[in-house]
Amino acid sequence: MAGVPSTVEQGGDQRDDMVYVEDVAEGVVQAALADRLEHDTYNIGSGAGSSLPDFAAAVRATFPDAQIEIGPGLDFLRMGVNYYSVFDIDRARKDFGYEPQFSLASGVAHYVKTMKRLGLEPQTS
């Protein structure tokens, strides 16, 4: 949003479950309002693996001139952990009808629209 180039030196090959906060909130509400839950634990996520390059493409759908560079490999947070994390959301789908509504691109677009509506756009002085 600020128009500042971004570089992530590593992690472009890692795939994780990237889920928009609105979907998480909706999943929690659906679970809380469910008449009966069959399990003690549910995963709320997108149910799909996405990479940082996928996220960069979603940002570019809203900001076509965004300059984003992402290096290869795993562990983009540099925590010494090399794994993929994709959640199985089948229990939530079955038990209370959870289904994520936002793709990466629509999540980014909704976030930007919300930030503008709230007057929380970045200051670019």
3-16, pLDDT tens digit by residue?
999 999 999 999 99
Domains of the chain: 6-117 (3.40.50.720)
99-115, pLDDT tens digit by residue?
999 999 999 999 999 99
Biggest CA-to-CA distance, the chain: 53
- 118, pLDDT greater than 80: yes
Burial of 7-46, coded b for 16+ CB within 10 Å and e otherwise, reads ebebbbbbbbbbbbebbeebbeebbeeeeeeeeeebbbbb
